[in-house]
Amino acid sequence: MRLIDKLNLLQNKKILVLGDLMLDEYEYGEVSRISQEAPVQVVKFEYSKKVIGGAGNTANNLVSLGAEVFLAGIVGSDRKHKELLECLKQANINSEGVITDNTKPTIVKKRIVSGKNQLIRIDYEDNKPIDHEAQEKIKQFIQKKIDLVDVIVISDYDKGLINVDLMKFLINLSNEKKIPTVLDGKSQNLECFKDVTLITPNIQEARQMSGIYDNVEEMGKVLVSRLNTNLFLTRGADGISVFEKNGKITHVPTKKVPVYDVTGAGDTVVAISALGLASGMNFKEIAEIANIAGRIVVQKPGTATVTLEEIRKTMDSISIRESHEKYKKKWGYEEWIVNLDSAGYCGKKLILNKGYQCSIHYHKEKDEVFYINKGFVLMTIDGKQELMKPESRIRIEPGTRHRFIGLTDAEIIEISSFHKEEDSYRDEPSGRVNEEKFKNYIKKYSDEINE
């Protein structure tokens, strides 16, 4: 199954997200002048918006990708926690596990933005450890939901929620239930990260965690060994390096794109990783999809999410751009023009050598049209022969056994419905035509060929 075909597997998963919740506030305006009071820019306010940040953005990404999310974390007993809960409600995120901690404020990150430029950020937070009573309530919530979920995500921003006791409880419970865990966290809590299924640090976080600064493979190996986990090392424009517990290392490159805002890009990678694990994909496949999703989200302003449809369209466009590779065949070669499954059609150019033939074959689902661009081709269709000349065309419906033979060197354009490679059923192999048979074909059709 091609990677694009596996996107549907990501839908309808149930995910528990545990992490530091934040309210991201954006104040937008135009820089009009420099203040007379101090050498700072004066921003004329235009509009503002509030979005879910931190672990909430991971949850928001998961919902955008078709998942049902159970969110667990803390907020303060203040006005901002009501605004955050309203944002969660609008995003269709279950906030039953969002617990009020009277000893801490709701975390707010306020950004002042002009055009594409973020001018300043103000953080309202208290990073002291979570209240014991609030932590016990979170444990109870996790215990209540554990049998409903396919995977657990831990999103740690080092704001006081994640600690050794809570993580030991979570890892023991998830291992007992055989539920995979994905963690995105800060190096200060490294001892909490042992034995999770997958961690997803960026390059700077991996340097701090490992103490290694100039060798990607060494820092990956050290972290896998130290934490007994698999690792996605996200490297921005250099893609994702995958380190598996079995020792396998895979570097998955990405394509450079204009970056508008990297806010929340790591949350998108975490969301795809969780859904990929829940869907049974291998690590390389997950990293390839995560690269594409991350590439989409960094081109959006602010804390953003991505959808499966956006990923599918991007994969389609990649397929179109990269489809011109030639594939050698026994009868010549084929070159894809387009393979657009979301639109339901494919197209390729077939270069058929004189004296060669494809296999006798049929398709159960594929419906195709052959257009002869150059040369002369003898088509065998359900046992009957038909000479095809330049500019002639023929439709081959599903279930029709057919073969093309090159009476001369020929170029054929094939347009077909979207199909999978396994929808090809061959009765006889392709290759060179029997010499005596070929002579007879040429003799029979020589007048038409030499016109």
Instruction: Quote the pLDDT of residue 121.
Output: 96
Cα–Cα nearest to 151, from 251, 58, 232, 243: 58
Instruction: Quote the pLDDT of residue 423.
Output: 83
The dotted CATH code for 3-320 is 3.40.1190.20
Classify the C-alpha dihedral 213-217-220-226 as positive or negative. negative
Instruction: Quote the pLDDT of residue 94.
Output: 92
Tokens 């999310």 correspond to: 69
Looking at the chain, which residues constitute the CATH 2.60.120.10 domain(s)?
325-449
Catalytic residue among 101, 184, 261, 267, which? 267
Report whether 152 contacts 271 (CB < 8 A): no
Instruction: Quote the pLDDT of residue 264.
Output: 59
Positions in the chain short of pLDDT 50: 260-261, 320-323
Q: Each residue of 259-285: pLDDT tens digit? A: 544 555 788 899 999 999 999 999 999
> What is the CATH superfamily name and number for domain 325-449?
Jelly Rolls (2.60.120.10)
User: In the annotation, is 267 catalytic?
Assistant: yes
Instruction: Quote the pLDDT of residue 286.
Output: 92
Q: Each residue of 74-125: pLDDT tens digit? A: 999 999 999 999 999 999 999 999 999 999 999 999 999 998 889 999 999 9
Cα–Cα nearest to 262, from 288, 236, 233, 234: 236
Tokens of 252: 């998955």
Instruction: Quote the pLDDT of residue 152.
Output: 97
Instruction: Quote the pLDDT of residue 260.
Output: 47
Q: Each residue of 141-191: pLDDT tens digit? A: 999 999 999 999 999 999 999 999 999 999 999 999 999 999 998 867 788
Looking at the chain, which residues constitute the CATH 3.40.1190.20 domain(s)?
3-320
Classify the C-alpha dihedral 440-443-446-448 as positive or negative. negative
How would you label 179-202 residue by residue, b for 16+ Cβ within 10 Å and e otherwise?
bbbbbbbbbebbebbeebbbbbbb
Instruction: Quote the pLDDT of residue 262.
Output: 57
Tokens 């150059």 correspond to: 374
